[in-house]
Amino acid sequence: MTEELAFLIPTKNRHQCLDRTLALVQRAVAVAGSDRCTILVCDQSPHPYPGGHGVTVQHRPDLSGLPAARNALLAACSAELVCFLDDDTDVGADFARNLLALARQEPEQVAWGPVVEVRGRWTRRLHRLLQLGAFHDPRRQTAGIADRQTTALFGCCFAVRRRVALQVGFDARRPGYALGEDLDFFMRLVAAIGGAPVIRFASCLRARHRRDGADRDSAERRGIAKAGFLLLQARRHGAGNPATLIHLILALGAAASGRGAEPASWRGLWRGLNRACRRGSSAHR
């Protein structure tokens, strides 16, 4: 039988995290039927994960970042439905079975995912006021488990029909963790399908993002990464909007407010803006 679902897991230098994640994915595959699912890992570590037990490993230390690894995994599988997982994400035992049922019962939908992060009331208000235009992120308005349409899913755990993912692809030019690459992917996906409501949160999909190593970066380093991402969003998705500059200033303020899950420093944001602007100027010479 041809695989219907492929779990695609990029990883780098985190084999211990991957062990826990794979054990739970294998459990979910067993519940759904091992002949219906496959598990692929793209390991960018110097030394590859051993694989086996139903896990196929691509050893790709040559790839520069997370988006390139996602593209490599997409190209390596043939399943009609793919589920991208971070290497520190736990899935419920019925995850694969429920996901396959959704794909069969909802042919008009192209992507599904669980709500894995929630925001308090004041944080949701902050994002509603300060994340506008190209910086609007519907995931920052989630208050709990939901069954509703959205325009973006959480990058640590989402499923999409493979033909659509191949059409849109991930921006392999971005190195490293590539902050915000998941939001960029969904914004381009929505544009490609003309804004139709085909992405949704599904409460039957149970997952938890452990966020292993979430505190490894300082507020300054987070600021550098966030500034680069926000400027990229402004250029790529806000170029036709005369209010984008104002929206960018507001988004930078939100990033440094201390209210987010990973707050940044003003110093880091300033350094990141300078770095991104210099890089942009060099590219246009």
Is the same domain home to 39 and 104? yes
Is the same domain home to 100 and 177? yes
Tell me whether residue 127 is in a domain. Answer: no
Encoded tokens for 38: 């496959």
Is the same domain home to 250 and 172? no
List the CATH number of the domain containing 188: 3.90.550.10
Tell me whether residue 149 is in a domain. Answer: no
Q: How confident is the model at residue 284 (pLDDT cuts 50, 70, 90)?
A: very low
Tell me whether residue 124 is in a domain. Answer: no
Is the same domain home to 47 and 79? yes
Tell me whether residue 232 is in a domain. Answer: yes
What's the rounded Cα separation, in Å, for the pair 91 and 207?
4
Choosing from 186, 209, 232, the residue where a domain stops is 209
Q: How much is the pLDDT for 283?
A: 45
What is the rounded average pLDDT of the residues 140-155? 90
Tell me whether residue 183 is in a domain. Answer: yes
Choosing from 185, 209, 233, the residue where a domain stops is 209
pTM beyond 0.85, yes or no: yes
Encoded tokens for 179: 């902050």
What's the rounded Cα separation, in Å, for the pair 38 and 234?
38
Q: Quick check: 197 pLDDT over 80?
A: yes
Tell me whether residue 198 is in a domain. Answer: yes
The residues that bridge with 43 in the sheet, in sequence order, are: 11, 59
Q: How much is the pLDDT for 260?
A: 65
Does 7 or 130 have the greater pLDDT score?
7
Q: Is 245 left (phi over 0), alpha (psi -120 to 50) or beta?
A: alpha
Tell me whether residue 267 is in a domain. Answer: yes
Q: Which residues of 147-170 are buried (b: 16+ CB within 10 A; e: fewer)?
A: eeebbbbbbbbbbbbbebbeebeb
Q: Quick check: 10 pLDDT over 70?
A: yes
Is the same domain home to 234 and 94? no
Is the same domain home to 84 and 177? yes
Q: What is the pLDDT of residues 85-127, one digit of tens each?
A: 999 999 999 999 999 999 999 999 999 999 998 777 887 887 7
Choosing from 209, 230, 249, the residue where a domain stops is 209
Q: What is the pLDDT of residues 216-275, one digit of tens each?
A: 678 888 888 888 889 989 999 998 899 999 999 888 888 877 666 677 888 888 898 888
What is the rounded average pLDDT of the residues 9-32? 96
Q: How confident is the model at residue 215 (pLDDT cuts 50, 70, 90)?
A: low
Q: How much is the pLDDT for 101?
A: 97
Q: Quick check: 21 pLDDT over 70?
A: yes
Is the same domain home to 74 and 192? yes
Q: How many separate domains does the chain show?
A: 2
Is the same domain home to 178 and 232? no
In 3-state terms, what secondary structure has residue 82?
A: strand
Place of tokens 């019925």: 94
Q: How much is the pLDDT for 280?
A: 60
Does 130 or 200 have the greater pLDDT score?
200
Tell me whether residue 22 is in a domain. Answer: yes
In 3-state terms, what secondary structure has residue 22?
A: helix
Q: Which amino acid is at 1?
A: M
Is the same domain home to 104 and 244? no
Q: Which amino acid is at 142?
A: T
Specify which of 23-27, 192-196, 265-269 reaches the highest per-range mean pLDDT.
23-27
Residue 271 is part of which domain span? 219-283
Is the same domain home to 97 and 160? yes
Is the same domain home to 168 and 90? yes
Is the same domain home to 56 and 109? yes
31-40, 79-88, 135-144, 194-203: least confidently modelled range? 135-144
